[in-house]
Amino acid sequence: MYKNPTKTNAKKILLIGGGETDFGLQGETDVAIYQVIPLLKKMGYQPYVLDDNPYALSLESTVAETVIAPLTVTAVQSLIQKEGIEAVLPVFGGRRAVRLWGQVLSDWQDERNGFQPETLGLPVQTVQDVRDGRALMERLALAELPILEAEAASSSAEANQFLRDYGLPLVIRAHHPKVGNTQRIVDRLDDFDQAIEQVRAQSLTNDVLISRAINGMKEVSLLVARDQRGNTLQIGASEDMDPIGIHSSDSLSVAPVLTVADRVLEEMRSQAFLAAEVLGVQGFLHVQFAFDEKTDALYIIKVAPYLDLVASRLALVTGYPAMLVGVQLALGLPITAVTLPQSYHQKLAMMEPVMDHIAVKLPIFSFGDLAAAGVTVNRQLGSIQKSVGSALGFGRTFIEALEKAIRAAHFNNRSFSPEFMDRLTDDELIQQLIHPQDNRVLLLIEALRRGYEVDELSELTDIDEFYFYQLQRLIAIQQKIEAAPGNQQMLQIGKESGLSDGLIARFWQRDFQTIRAQGQLADILPTYKALEPTAGEFPEHAHQYYATFESENESSQLGQQSVLIVGAGAFRMGDGAAAGYVLTVALAELRRLNYQTIVLNNSAADASLLPHLSDKQYLEPLETSDVMAVVDQEAPQAILVPGNRRKLIDALQKLGQTVFVLPKEKHQPDGPDSNQSEFNLSFFYDGQRTYPLALTQHRQGELRLLKNTIPADFLADLQPQQPGFYQIIWRRPVFAWQKQVPMPDLSTDAWLRPMPYGHLAYLSKVLGLPLVRYLIRALVGQLSPADQEQLLAAQTMPQKPLAMVAGRSDFALHLQPDQVIDATRFEMGPRLVAFEQED
């Protein structure tokens, strides 16, 4: 295995990381890099990883040389020179990494920088063109691929000319954008000037690109792969329920594509293949299409010759090992020579994945969390992304997958309650149908309940009739269930439709345990189906499963020694990204300790679902009934649960299960006000004694290490309920960065809390200690004397002078909040930044 000749002769390969998470960046780049570096190592390369994301797992990899440094031209250049890097693979770091590499290449001077490393995965020209979206599109246009004509305008006068020529609606996006891919769709004259100004500010060159808007068309994404010989294959495709005009990330998406005819999909496929050819892609390419059903017009609206969320999601939902294939294609292997670990069918890389399940992605909005903190934001969905994450639901029908996605997204938002829907007037309903908000799906259901016709609604919303027919079915099912409390057949139908015990219990006004007991008695039990990419054609080596209610259960108990890890679920604001980090390290440690590991999770960009990290993965919502069902199936020795899931922990303990808790607060921790500092004394409790680790100062937007040495006996009297990482917190009206601070009086002005996962990831990196692993060892009684010694010496270890700085998320652009959002509290993702530490 892994002995195929590749095209590159390079030994040392740099993978540029994706940096901080943000709107549209959920850590998928780190997960991909973390997955491919062991393969690169095995193939005889020396991988290097550069990143500044404190939650990056790849930065703690033992097979790669890792460098924590800002993602800047200087950092990349000096790393290349210092280490003698021979090739650079930027595509797994996403758009940000490709653009950075393009900048490095344009600045490159052989006499100053030495020999220029080879670029893997993309031709240099394409790397350069990624920096200028229009250049990419123009290359496609030269190949006669259908794109929307766009013109650049650098003044209001030029923009107004375009307005006169084409009329509204228009799409305005930044030419040479500074950061994301922001675009505005303008359909009211009043908004035009403001939109031009807003978008111009996003452009490095201070000009905008204007094109005709294609609102209302169907949006379809294809992911294709291409090798250096020009062989192309389709990995997957998904369609958005919401039409163009609503940002794709804010749309409900379905894979596989359900409502587009074969002849149209085949045309998209041919165009995507041609686009991959034109751009010289060696790896994968995500192509986004707009399709007008009335005129059959088809446009390519976006190409992403790098890893993005759609690519990582389609890889997960099809079960195709896209990252392992993609990296080998980037190295120059033909698709026919790609090898995969033994757990895959030998020929799988060459087979286009086929799905016999439905995967629904729902966006997650943070409006509720923000409202709870007193921040009001603009909830109306449009062409600028507002969602902060996403959740997946898997099933064998659209309804089942939808219901499971809704449950996975864990809506606890006021606007989702039926009473709220009842209060809407018909006018408000129509207004919200035309100008959708985060509660889109419930609103559509409400409209159907009130008797609006499917064709009217489809006309009004530009949503395919299929979805309305499906929602009508869902309404009918729910009404039937409500009307027949306790009916066994209705229970069966409810479960088949993806409803949880909890929801059925609410319909029947009973306790959820009653429903669960009834289901067990009547043998209405989930049947787990393998998630694999051949739709049953070949005997599968399956590790991934989802639940449905049919006749055959393909999952059998993994073993007597298994530990079930309940994931953190959907990515969301706050330390959501950090939870993925913590659980993945926990998983890796349990595995190292020879436990069989089973993961239950549902986020597409979560490392804990990587197939090589655990023995078995269940892609399920994380409600109590879902967890219980997997517990019944697997009878694990112990269950590892994040501490914020109190109800679940209680329920499991009541059933006599062994539960390991990873302490975590139920709600988003509060932060310091703008004129004060919060001090965090972090320590570890192994169940018997406490180990002080470090003292940090937290100001809005930044967290730094202090020089204090915490006296060993200071914490002696503290005995938290269970092993874990904790913090003593106090606040002072100081703003300047401190060197040392006096210890607080524990009895009066300080309080104790579980350490936020983000701090845990940060401290692991700056202290250079595998903190999460110590906790796991303590939980399973395997914390060694050597570990204890290391923990006791934590304060004397050299610390990396890195601050954790809030990400640069543009909340004003995305959410238009009525006040400044504290980005350390509602973080989208921080980064590590060096600071001057005084001695």
Residue from the set 31, 120, 159, 233 that interacts with another protein by CB under 8 A: 233
Pick between residue 195 and residue 474 the one whose CB is nearest to another protein. 474
**Torsion-angle region of residue 471: left (phi > 0), alpha (psi -120 to 50) or beta?**
alpha
Which residues in the 467-486 window bind another protein by CB under 8 A?
469-470
Contact flag: residue 416 with another protein (CB under 8 A): no
* 3-state class (DSSP) for residue 551: coil
Q: Which stretch binds another protein (CB under 8 A): 66-74, 267-275, 321-329, 668-676?
A: 267-275
> How far is the C-alpha of 436 from the C-alpha of 380, rounded, in Å?
6
Interface with another protein: number of residues (CB under 8 A): 50
Pull the structure tokens for residue 387: 């969602």
CB of 489 to another protein, least distance (A): 12
Contact indicator for 228, 214 with CB cutoff of 8 Å? no
Binding-residue pattern over the window 718 to 747 for another protein, x denoting contact by CB under 8 A: ------------------------------
Instruction: Work out whether 230 is an interface residue with another protein (CB under 8 A).
Output: yes
Residues 176/199, Cβ–Cβ less than 8 Å: no
CA distance 18 to 555: 36
The residues, ordered by sequence, that sit 6+ positions from 478 with a Cβ below 8 Å of its Cβ are: 499, 507
Burial of 480 (0-12, 13-18, 19+ CB in 10 A): middle
Shortest Cβ distance from residue 280 to another protein (Å)? 17
Closest-CA residue to 827 (of 695, 701, 670)? 701
Residues between 548 and 577 with contacts to another protein, criterion CB under 8 A: 550-552
- Of 74, 106, 336, 557, the residue at the interface with another protein (CB under 8 A) is 336
Question: How many helices and strands in the chain, by DSSP H and E?
Answer: 28, 30
- State how far the Cα of 283 lies from the Cα of 829, in Å rounded to an integer: 27
Give the Cα separation of 35 and 61 in Å (integer). Answer: 10
Among positions 200, 226, 247, 396, the unique one binding another protein when judged by CB under 8 A: 396
Q: Give the 3-state secondary structure of 346-364.
A: CCHHHCCCECCCEEEEEEE
Quick one: tokens of 540? 């599968």
Stretch that binds another protein, among 140-148, 251-259, 432-440, 752-760 (CB under 8 A): 251-259
Q: Does 536 bind another protein (CB under 8 A)?
A: yes
By the rule CB under 8 A, 523 interacts with another protein: no
Q: What whole-number distance in Å separates Cα of residue 188 and Cα of residue 807?
A: 33
**Closer by beta carbon to another protein, 396 or else 825:** 396
Interface mask (CB under 8 A) for another protein, residues 316-335, using x and -? Answer: ------------------xx
CA distance 242 to 258: 14
Q: Which of 397, 637, 722, 790 binds another protein (CB under 8 A)?
A: 397
Is 352 a residue that touches another protein (CB under 8 A)? yes
Residue 794 Cβ vs another protein, minimum distance, rounded to whole Å: 51
Could you tell me if 232 and 226 are in contact, meaning their C-beta atoms sit under 8 angstroms apart?
A: yes
Contact yes or no for 527/550 (Cβ under 8 A): yes
- 159-198 binders of another protein (CB under 8 A): none
The answer to whether 645 contacts another protein (rule: CB under 8 A) is no
With CB under 8 A as the contact rule, the residue among 229, 414, 435, 739 that binds another protein is: 229
Is 699 a residue that touches another protein (CB under 8 A)? no
Q: Does 357 bind another protein (CB under 8 A)?
A: yes
Transcribe 96-147 into DSSP letters.
Answer: HHHHHHHHHHHH--HHHH-SPPEEPSS-HHHHHHHTSHHHHHHHHHHTT--B
Determine, following the binding rule CB under 8 A, whether residue 621 of this chain makes contact with another protein. no
Please, which residue, 108 or 538, has the CB nearer to another protein? 538
**Gyration radius of the chain's alpha carbons:** 26
Q: Is residue 289 part of the contact set for another protein (CB under 8 A)?
A: no
Is 337 one of the binding residues for another protein (CB under 8 A)?
no
Q: Looking at beta carbons only, is 268 or 775 nearer to another protein?
A: 268
The residue from 166, 416, 466, 714 that contacts another protein (CB under 8 A) is 466
- Interface residue with another protein among 151, 356, 462, 670 (CB under 8 A) is 356
Q: Residue 263's CB: how many other CB atoms inside 10 A?
A: 8
Using CB under 8 A, which of 63, 73, 278, 354 touches another protein? 354
Q: How far is the CB of 217 from another protein (least distance, A)?
A: 16
Does 260 interact with another protein (rule: CB under 8 A)? yes
Distance CA 613, CA 618 (A): 13
Q: By CB under 8 A, which span of 182-190, 382-390, 411-419, 536-544 interacts with another protein?
A: 536-544
Measured from the CB atom, the residue of 42 and 347 that comes closer to another protein is 347
Please give the structure tokens belonging to residue 73. 């031209």
- Least distance from another protein to the Cβ atom of residue 446, Å: 22
Whether the CB-CB separation of 788 and 774 falls below 8 Å is answered with no
Residues in contact with another protein by CB under 8 A are 229-231, 233-234, 256-263, 265-267, 269-270, 273, 334-336, 347, 350-358, 396-398, 465-466, 469-470, 527, 529, 534-539, 550-552
